Amino acid sequence: MPVGTAGTVKAVHQRELKEDIRAQIILGNTYHLYLRPGLDTLHKAGGLHQFNGWDAPILTDSGGYQVFSLSGTRKIKEEGVTFRSHIDGSRHLFTPENTMDTQRIIGADIIMALDECTPYPCSYRYAETSLQLTHRWLERCINHFKATEPLYGYDQMLFPIVQGSTYKDLRKASAETIASFGQEGNAIGGLSVGEPAEEMYEMTEIVCEILPADKPRYLMGVGTPANILECISLGIDMFDCVMPTRNARNGMLFTRNGIINIRNEKWKNDFSPIDEESDLWADKHYSKAYLRHLVTSKEILGAQIASLHNLHFYLWLTGESRKRIIDGTFARWKDQMVKAVSARI
Amino acid sequence: MPVGTAGTVKAVHQRELKEDIRAQIILGNTYHLYLRPGLDTLHKAGGLHQFNGWDAPILTDSGGYQVFSLSGTRKIKEEGVTFRSHIDGSRHLFTPENTMDTQRIIGADIIMALDECTPYPCSYRYAETSLQLTHRWLERCINHFKATEPLYGYDQMLFPIVQGSTYKDLRKASAETIASFGQEGNAIGGLSVGEPAEEMYEMTEIVCEILPADKPRYLMGVGTPANILECISLGIDMFDCVMPTRNARNGMLFTRNGIINIRNEKWKNDFSPIDEESDLWADKHYSKAYLRHLVTSKEILGAQIASLHNLHFYLWLTGESRKRIIDGTFARWKDQMVKAVSARI
């Protein structure tokens, strides 16, 4: 899922998302949307789809993650979490109940439970206490979700989130609790927060063995192309990550042959297309030297082209994985690709 | 002509310029291109068309204007003008001869003579002395242009530039000198530099009476939609201006009903399309409230949408003018439109 934090996938038109990148779903961040444009505007618009003109599925997180990563002084209580806006310092409270209401107003097709995303490293004691809170919040989310109706005439789904830091027994216990609610899909949070990749894979594997295989498993906030391939092999079906767009704006391109830092001098006079193997018009139309010029000159078009390229590549990578799972050639291809996409070229 | 300073019309893809805005020609700035990516890269690329993937006409200025407006300490001598780069402070010299060579390397279809663009206000004595220098430089430009060949297998045209500040006799004398060279087109410089619009129109009128009507007359750096309509009625055929793109990035939209500051609170919950009368997909797809959200949130997509809108509107305005000149309804329509497009809504 391309990440559209504030209702826009940065530097990419909705038409490009649909026709060039062929995204089937995008993500919005409740924390950002709640602060700006705000719920009054989103409600009056008839929800985020109407507001931003994206008529395919949208998933929103609960806002919890950004409260922990972006806002100033925040305080976790049983009731919920109080925090200050990173924009104007104003005080706010997110609770399991009001984050359901907020996501009803935003009107995403898939909405997420409020959880606490533990930092890394995290003591066993903190992880265990936090996990119990996350599970109590989940019950309140589900109860409130069931007690309320969608606002715009189409159904919404609520995905719960497995936590438990890097502790196997906590992850197992959490996965069992989460699976027991029988929601339409299940998510794994609290990974890709600084732990070694091996620990992320280990936790993902343990959890995927417990979460039902016939419902989508969503690994939140992951990751590099190699991370995504490894986690697909462990049973993950959905991903979101800012990496393809954020790194694009700094000139990092992901390709099937490895990672390019387009700012490097070596591309200065390389007039070959950005990606010869890609079927994206921009990859064939623009050269590496031109993109390097745009990025080093801080031209907006540089961010546009690189974002388009990276998102198109991520969607190609996951689409190709799906095809190869179906035709039975995924495992070998995955091992080759993990090496290829991780190289620096 | 949309302005593509550093080889990119800011925030707009080449595909959008061609298919959505339907630009027939874009402008590049020699000063910027000379400094970055530099002549070595542009030469190796095979010129700017190859470098930026724009296969329709390009016009480049000589670089003189930016030397006067952007660079640090600059010194005008008979030989040319020395200046310091605004990027790294390095020292450079532009002469009539080397700006022709530079524009041969950039490979624009229309290139401009090196002139001095006098500031406003400007004493008669300074304007007269400067004008004589501009005319001497023009002779050197034309001689060097004739003594050199295009580099990439297609012809280039050299347009001379009328100067003379806001002095009628100097403008007349300059226009006669410029016309006498018999180039394929002629430009008017040194206007839209701070003088009242009435003075700009007066100078334009005087000059247009002298410059041949059967060759394009190009008014450099103009202007607002009203300025453009008035100057078309005085005989101008070509314009360039950063206003549609620069102002777009600040949230100013030009429409046939007037000027919108999309940052205003009044658009916060206005979910109507950006421009209902436009045939641009983005004008119909995105709402005013969404664009306001993007611009106030400093999202790149805001600059993209507003730039697309403003350029499309400018091209519509000039295209419509052409049609109405041909069918004989321009004069009355122009008077109505000047009022309409100048209103603040």
Distance CA A32, CA A242 (A): 14
pLDDT for residue A142 is more than 80: yes
User: Do A193 and A120 form a contact (C-beta atoms < 8 A)?
Assistant: yes
Strand partners, A258: A255
Please give the angle made by the CA atoms of B131, B134 and B140, to the nearest 5 degrees. 150
CB-CB: which of B36, B281, B290 is closest to A297? B36
pLDDT band at B316 (very low <50, low <70, confident <90, very high): very high
Neighbouring residues of B27: CB distance < 8 A, sequence distance ≥ 6: B1, B2, B3, B4, B58, B59, B60, B61, B240
Judged by a CB distance cut-off of 8 A, whether residue B266 touches chain A is no
Q: For residue range B12-32, what is the model confidence (pLDDT) as tens digits?
A: 999 999 999 999 999 999 999
CA dihedral (B15, B20, B23, B24) positive or negative: positive
ipTM surpasses cut 0.95: yes
Distance CA B161, CA B179 (A): 10
pLDDT for residue B289 is more than 90: yes
pLDDT for residue B308 is more than 90: yes
User: Do A257 and A345 form a contact (C-beta atoms < 8 A)?
Assistant: yes
Instruction: Examine the domain organization and report whether A264 and A213 are in the same domain.
Output: no
* Domain end (from B193, B219, B241): B241
Distance CA A308, CA A311 (A): 5
Q: Which residues of A touch B6 (CB under 8 A)?
A: 293-294, 297, 299
Instruction: With respect to residue B208, please indicate whether it lies within any of the assigned structural domains.
Output: yes
User: Do A237 and A281 form a contact (C-beta atoms < 8 A)?
Assistant: no
Q: What is the pLDDT of residue B69?
A: 83
Judged by a CB distance cut-off of 8 A, whether residue B10 touches chain A is yes
Judged by a CB distance cut-off of 8 A, whether residue A250 touches chain B is no
Instruction: Examine the domain organization and report whether B200 and B226 are in the same domain.
Output: yes
Q: Mind telling me how many Å the CA of A299 is from chain B's nearest CA?
A: 7
Q: Mind telling me how many Å the CA of A5 is from chain B's nearest CA?
A: 10
Instruction: Examine the domain organization and report whether B155 and B41 are in the same domain.
Output: yes
User: Do A86 and A13 form a contact (C-beta atoms < 8 A)?
Assistant: no
pLDDT band at A16 (very low <50, low <70, confident <90, very high): very high
Inter-chain CB proximity A293 and B41 less than 8 Å? yes
Distance CA B274, CA B285 (A): 8
CB pairs under 8 A between A and B: 118
Strand partners, B253: B260
Strand partners, B255: B258
Distance CA B210, CA B206 (A): 7
Q: What is the pLDDT of residue A92?
A: 95
Nearest residue to A80 via CA among A31, A14, A137: A137
Q: Mind telling me how many Å the CA of A24 is from chain B's nearest CA?
A: 18
Instruction: With respect to residue B173, please indicate whether it lies within any of the assigned structural domains.
Output: yes
DSSP of B125-142? HHHHHHHHHHHHHHHHHH
Neighbouring residues of B123: CB distance < 8 A, sequence distance ≥ 6: none
Find the largest Cα–Cα distance for chain B.
Answer: 62
Q: Mind telling me how many Å the CA of B269 is from chain A's nearest CA?
A: 6
In the predicted model, what is the mean pLDDT of residues A261-275?
A: 98
Inter-chain CB proximity A301 and B8 less than 8 Å? yes
CB-CB: which of B10, B268, B300 is closest to A10? B300
B88 vs A160, B71, B92, CA distance in Å?
A: 53, 10, 11
How many distinct structural domains can be found in chain B?
A: 2
Judged by a CB distance cut-off of 8 A, whether residue A68 touches chain B is no
Task: Report the run of H or E that residue A252 belongs to, with start and end.
Answer: strand A252-255
In the predicted model, what is the mean pLDDT of residues A322-339?
A: 98
Instruction: With respect to residue A174, please indicate whether it lies within any of the assigned structural domains.
Output: yes
Structure tokens at A173: 């216990």
Q: Put the strands of the sheet holding B186-188 in their side by side order.
A: B161-162, B186-188, B217-219, B238-239
pTM over 0.90: yes
Instruction: Examine the domain organization and report whether B140 and B278 are in the same domain.
Output: no
**Residue A163 assigned as binding residue:** yes
- Helix and strand tally (H, E) in chain A? 15, 13
Instruction: With respect to residue B90, please indicate whether it lies within any of the assigned structural domains.
Output: yes
Neighbouring residues of B44: CB distance < 8 A, sequence distance ≥ 6: A269, A271
pLDDT for residue B71 is more than 80: no
Share of chain B above pLDDT 90, in %: 97
Q: Which residues of B touch A37 (CB under 8 A)?
A: 268, 289, 293
Q: For residue range A45-58, what is the model confidence (pLDDT) as tens digits?
A: 999 999 999 999 99
Instruction: Examine the domain organization and report whether B68 and B202 are in the same domain.
Output: yes
pLDDT band at A68 (very low <50, low <70, confident <90, very high): confident
Determine which of A80-89, A164-173, A233-242, B170-179 has the lowest per-residue pLDDT on average: A80-89
Kindly name the residue from A20, A61, A275, A283 that is annotated as catalytic: A61
- Encode A238-271: b = buried (16+ Cβ within 10 Å), e = exposed: bbbbebbbebbbebbbbbeeebbbbeeeebbbbe
Catalytic residue set of B:
61, 240
In the predicted model, what is the mean pLDDT of residues A196-217?
A: 98
Task: Kindly identify which residue of chain A lies nearest to residue B285, measuring between CA atoms.
Answer: A53
pLDDT for residue B72 is more than 80: no
The residue behind tokens 């939609």 is B225
Determine which of B42-46, B82-86, B312-316 has the lowest per-residue pLDDT on average: B82-86
CATH code for the domain in which residue B133 is found:
3.20.20.105
Q: Which residues of B touch A281 (CB under 8 A)?
A: 15
Inter-chain CB proximity B10 and A303 less than 8 Å? no
Q: What is the pLDDT of residue A318?
A: 98
**DSSP code at position A26:** E
Q: Which residues of A touch B7 (CB under 8 A)?
A: 290, 293
Instruction: With respect to residue A3, please indicate whether it lies within any of the assigned structural domains.
Output: no
Enclosing domain of residue A286: 246-342
User: Do B242 and B4 form a contact (C-beta atoms < 8 A)?
Assistant: no
pLDDT band at B106 (very low <50, low <70, confident <90, very high): very high
User: Do B269 and A44 form a contact (C-beta atoms < 8 A)?
Assistant: yes
Instruction: Examine the domain organization and report whether A69 and A184 are in the same domain.
Output: yes
Q: What is the pLDDT of residue B73?
A: 80
Nearest residue to A35 via CA among A122, A95, A106: A106
Instruction: With respect to residue A4, please indicate whether it lies within any of the assigned structural domains.
Output: no
Instruction: Examine the domain organization and report whether A179 and A223 are in the same domain.
Output: yes
Instruction: Examine the domain organization and report whether B192 and B206 are in the same domain.
Output: yes
Instruction: Examine the domain organization and report whether B329 and B299 are in the same domain.
Output: yes
pLDDT for residue A114 is more than 90: yes
A120 vs A63, A128, A169, A223, A323, CA distance in Å?
A: 19, 14, 17, 16, 35
Q: Which residues of A touch B300 (CB under 8 A)?
A: 10-11, 300, 303-304
Judged by a CB distance cut-off of 8 A, whether residue A50 touches chain B is yes
pLDDT for residue A72 is more than 80: no
Instruction: With respect to residue A183, please indicate whether it lies within any of the assigned structural domains.
Output: yes
Task: Report the run of H or E that residue B254 belongs to, with start and end.
Answer: strand B252-255
In the predicted model, what is the mean pLDDT of residues B261-273?
A: 98
B82 vs A236, B68, B74, B77, B79, CA distance in Å?
A: 62, 10, 5, 8, 9
Instruction: Examine the domain organization and report whether A206 and A303 are in the same domain.
Output: no
pLDDT for residue B70 is more than 90: no
For residue B28, the Cα-to-chain-centroid distance in whole angstroms is 9
User: Do B80 and B114 form a contact (C-beta atoms < 8 A)?
Assistant: yes
pLDDT for residue A71 is more than 80: no
Q: For residue range A246-257, what is the model confidence (pLDDT) as tens digits?
A: 999 999 999 999
Distance CA A227, CA A338 (A): 8
Distance CA A289, CA A33 (A): 37
Inter-chain CB proximity B285 and A15 less than 8 Å? yes
CA dihedral (B195, B197, B203, B207) positive or negative: positive
Q: What is the pLDDT of residue A69?
A: 83
pLDDT for residue B99 is more than 90: yes
A276 vs A255, A262, A280, A286, B329, CA distance in Å?
A: 10, 15, 9, 10, 51
Q: Which residues of A touch B44 (CB under 8 A)?
A: 269, 271
Instruction: With respect to residue B233, please indicate whether it lies within any of the assigned structural domains.
Output: yes
Inter-chain CB proximity A10 and B301 less than 8 Å? yes
| Average predicted confidence (pLDDT) for chain A | 97
Q: Mind telling me how many Å the CA of B236 is from chain A's nearest CA?
A: 31
**Known catalytic membership, residue A61:** yes
- Phi, psi torsion values for B32, nearest 5 degrees: -70, -45
* Domain end (from B241, B269, B301): B241
Distance CA A288, CA B51 (A): 10
Instruction: Examine the domain organization and report whether B250 and B237 are in the same domain.
Output: no
User: Do B10 and B249 form a contact (C-beta atoms < 8 A)?
Assistant: yes
* Domain end (from B198, B215, B241): B241
Nearest residue to B295 via CA among B284, B310, B305: B305
Instruction: Examine the domain organization and report whether A104 and A221 are in the same domain.
Output: yes
In the predicted model, what is the mean pLDDT of residues B101-118?
A: 97
Q: What is the pLDDT of residue A73?
A: 80
